[in-house]
DNA sequence: AATGTCAGATTGACAGACAGGATTATCGAC
DNA sequence: GTCGATAATCCTGTCTGTCAATCTGACATT
């Protein structure tokens, strides 16, 4: 794992001349870099579920101090990605079938809310953006490149969540999503699911274009429910 | 503010004989005690919105070290109760009207989901518990004692959220609620709202008793929407 | 009055230390 | 040889102390 850059030291000598670049470069404190790394490692599968995360090891591999790591761990913990066992330390969350079902239920509620709000509040421009995102997603599905699909899907949701409506929805949704990210990678790779999934998303888009909140709500909910089914099925096998 | 008990020192001499009692007493690590204190102080109004929370001061008033405070702050931060300004430190979150509206929207979605799940999944026993909670709530409303109402309401929601359904819903819901706790105290104290609110809750209960998920969903959503209106109105004045 | 400068206050980050729980390994007894 | 007790070890939870970077606000200067 790559070591972190200590923000301050490399720049202090040239502060006068590169002030603007420096502000941008240093902006992220060490602990949030650690948070990002942990998140990425967990959702990306580098850390297996159930695996212990020993503070010392994390410090060594990232080249930061224990306080920084611990603060980051607290944050990742409250996002649900790790669980801390008293006097034992953190382990990567293991999702039971029930956990996954619960998360998808909540995600469904949030996503449906987002679609509903979007259909009433979004500007025409934003609707156009969403349309573009769906087109993009369609192209991604055709390539069958999981990485591309994931990116396209994220863009779609980013647009949907931003829809000038709810401020806290994006954050919440992302947290929910992060927790099932490993699974999603599995369920997305099924080509059969691809075409169906796309059709569901198109239904959401259609409802939004018609400015029909109720239909958008239902279509969105339906989409998540189907995704949930696939994820749960793949989990049980 | 009361100082924390340092778990280890007072007990270490009697570890052998009082092991069980000790475990219970020490069970809560310092940092989680700090978290609770911060939460209580913020939601209880001891710390005003916008107020700076200086680490040193917190350490002194609670008698713990900076690392512990910092870890606790990170956790409270990710719950949304405080906002950390870079190089400036944390301040108690100030809720804009938009924030409050957003939180209530999400809360509505979650609560509606909970009611829906409860009406399909809860045991008859649990339904009975909910009924009892509503009766309790009614009694509390009659006393006009805000503290009692808050407690009764919390019990009602505890029962509703536990309803053998979704595992993550309770946590999420509590977090959402904590963020608007100050406001709720205001909106609850209105006697006019009381009777209406109770009627709404009764509607939720009725739908649940009839095992009608859709009606429970709608009634629940309606309840939150009305509460939201009141809260937003009181916020603007 | 606007600007520049400096000191104080505070955060962000680090190292080092130590007690106490938990886990594991070792060893002796049966 | 297996089992239980004891010792060794690992790691967390927590503290102290330290230091640089940064922000704020007061003060001085033009």
Residue B55: per-residue pLDDT: 95
Give, in order, the Cα–Cα distances in Å from A170 to each of A153, A213, B7, B23, B40.
14, 19, 39, 40, 27
Residue B21: per-residue pLDDT: 36
Distance from CA of A206 to the nearest CA of B (A): 22
pLDDT band for position A188 (50/70/90)?
Answer: low
Query: How far apart (Å, rounded) are the C-alpha atoms in residues B36 and B38?
Result: 5
Residue A236: per-residue pLDDT: 84
Q: What is the mean pLDDT of residues B183-189?
A: 71
Residue B145: per-residue pLDDT: 86
Cα radius of gyration rounded to whole Å, chain A: 20
Residue B2, pLDDT > 70, answer no
CB B153 within 8 A of CB B217: no
Q: Are A31 and B74 an interchain contact pair (Cβ–Cβ within 8 Å)?
A: yes
CB A58 within 8 A of CB A1: no
| Cα atoms found within 13 Å of the Cα of residue B183, Cβ hemisphere only | 26
Residue B130: per-residue pLDDT: 97
Provide the token pair at A65: 């101090």
pLDDT band for position B27 (50/70/90)?
Answer: low
CA B36 to chain CA mean position, Å: 12
Q: What is the mean pLDDT of residues B34-57?
A: 95
Contacts of A166 in chain B (CB under 8 A): 101-102, 105-106
pLDDT band for position A27 (50/70/90)?
Answer: low
Q: What is the mean pLDDT of residues A152-172?
A: 92
Residue A172, pLDDT > 50, answer yes
Write down the mean pLDDT value for chain A. Answer: 87
Give the percent of chain A with pLDDT over 90: 71
Write down the mean pLDDT value for chain B. Answer: 87
pLDDT digits (tens, 9 = 90+) for A85-136: 999 999 999 999 999 999 999 999 999 999 999 999 999 999 999 999 999 9
Residue B198: per-residue pLDDT: 94
Secondary structure element (H or E) that encloses residue B101, with its range: helix B97-121
Q: Which nucleotides of D are covered by protein (CB under 7 A)?
A: 10-18, 20-24
Looking at chain B, which residue has its C-alpha nearest residue A31?
A: B74
Residue A175, pLDDT > 70, answer yes
pLDDT band for position B193 (50/70/90)?
Answer: confident
Q: Identify which of B89, B70, B66, B65 has the alpha carbon closest to the alpha carbon of residue A70.
A: B70
More confident residue, B54 or B6: B54
Residue A36: per-residue pLDDT: 96
Residue B109, pLDDT > 60, answer yes
Return the bridge partners of A90, or none. A84
pLDDT band for position B165 (50/70/90)?
Answer: confident
Tell if A221 CB is < 7 Å from nucleic strand C.
no
Residue A100: per-residue pLDDT: 94
| Cα atoms found within 13 Å of the Cα of residue A72, Cβ hemisphere only | 24
Tell if A54 CB is < 7 Å from nucleic strand D.
yes
Residue A22: per-residue pLDDT: 36
Mutation site, B167, B174, B177, B217, interface A, largest A CB count within 10 A: B167
Looking at chain B, which residue has its C-alpha nearest residue A176?
A: B168
Looking at chain A, which residue has its C-alpha nearest residue B167?
A: A102
Residue B194: per-residue pLDDT: 86
pLDDT band for position B189 (50/70/90)?
Answer: low
Distance from CA of A151 to the nearest CA of B (A): 25
């Amino acid at each position: 794992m790559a070591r972190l850059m200590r923000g301050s030291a490399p720049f202090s000598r040239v502060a006068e001349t590169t002030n603007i670049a420096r502000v941008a470069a240093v902006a992220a404190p060490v602990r949030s870099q650690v948070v990002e790394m942990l998140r990425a490692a967990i959702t990306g599968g580098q850390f297996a579920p159930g695996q212990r995360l020993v503070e010392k090891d994390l410090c060594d591999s990232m080249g930061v101090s224990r306080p920084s790591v611990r603060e980051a761990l607290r944050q990742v913990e409250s996002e649900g990605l790790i669980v801390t066992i008293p006097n034992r330390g953190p382990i990567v969350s293991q999702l039971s079938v029930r956990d996954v079902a619960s998360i998808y239920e909540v995600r469904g509620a949030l996503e449906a809310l987002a679609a509903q709000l979007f259909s009433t509040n979004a500007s025409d421009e934003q609707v156009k953006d969403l349309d573009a995102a769906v087109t993009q997603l369609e192209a991604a599905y055709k390539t069958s490149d999981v990485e591309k699909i994931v990116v396209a899907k994220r863009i779609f949701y980013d647009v949907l969540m931003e829809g000038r409506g709810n401020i806290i929805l994006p954050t919440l949704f992302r947290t929910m999503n992060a927790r099932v990210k490993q699974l999603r990678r599995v369920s997305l790779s099924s080509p059969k699911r691809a075409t169906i999934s796309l059709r569901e998303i198109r239904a959401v888009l259609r409802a939004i274009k018609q400015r029909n909140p109720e239909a958008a709500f239902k279509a969105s909910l339906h989409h998540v429910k189907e995704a949930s089914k696939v994820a749960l099925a793949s989990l049980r096998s």
